[in-house]
Amino acid sequence: MELLMKWWNKKVFNKSIRSLHRDLGYLFIGLTLIYAISGILLVLKKDGQNPSYREIIMEKEAKANLKPDELKTFWKDHFSDAPKLTRIIPAEDVYNIYVKGGLGKYYPYNGRIEFTIFKKIPVYKFVNDIHYNSGHRFTFLAVIFSIVLVFFAISGAVMVKGKKGFKKRGVWLMIIGFIIPVLLFFYT
């Protein structure tokens, strides 16, 4: 009982909270940076482009007026440097083509082929997979991280005392922190 009372001593408790806040802060620096960087990448992506992939645009020339089977054979015989042609869907004036890792178009009237290959950028893919929780592999990590962020918010609020502490100044900044996203939600 005496040990418990000693632990609940205000000075010991504050020191313990500071130590835990500091150590967890160091431990979670990497994960915080990963979430922050991937969040920036996701927010700044434009025109529906995925920052996890680099687009490589390629152009080729084939014979004009090829039928789908002929185009497939021509592709196999003449474009060994290009990805494998997997599917051809004829439309009115153009064939939509699908290649391994990309897609494009074949224009039968002039034989022009344009296609785009999407190459993964491993670092971006990694941070986005963690942020999106792709395949639910990171659920446990995300829950732990969320709990630690709640701890950081609460412990950070109670650690500073005096006129710049939570009761005097921090509560107003916290309220502003709630108001800003609410205003952005309703007015943007």
101 shares a domain with 63 = yes
What is the extent of the structural domain holding 139? 2-47+122-187
Task: Examine the fold and report which residue of 120, 141, 162 is the final residue of a domain before the chain moves on.
Answer: 120
Helix, strand, coil share (%) of the chain residues, nearest 5: 60, 20, 20
116 shares a domain with 66 = yes
69 shares a domain with 39 = no
Give the whole-angstrom CA distance, residue 53 versus residue 76: 26
Three-state secondary structure call for residue 126: helix
106 shares a domain with 69 = yes
Q: What is the mean pLDDT of residues 18-22?
A: 92
Confidence of residue 3 (pLDDT cuts 50, 70, 90): low
φ, ψ for residue 9 (rounded to 5)?
A: -55, 135
21-49 pLDDT per residue, tens = 999 999 999 999 988 988 888 777 766 66
Instruction: Please give the tally of structural domains in the chain.
Output: 2
97 shares a domain with 60 = yes
Nearest to 130, CA basis, from 140, 121, 115, 120: 140
128 shares a domain with 115 = no
- Counting residues of the chain whose pLDDT is more than 90, the rounded percentage is 53
Instruction: State the pTM of this model.
Output: 0.63
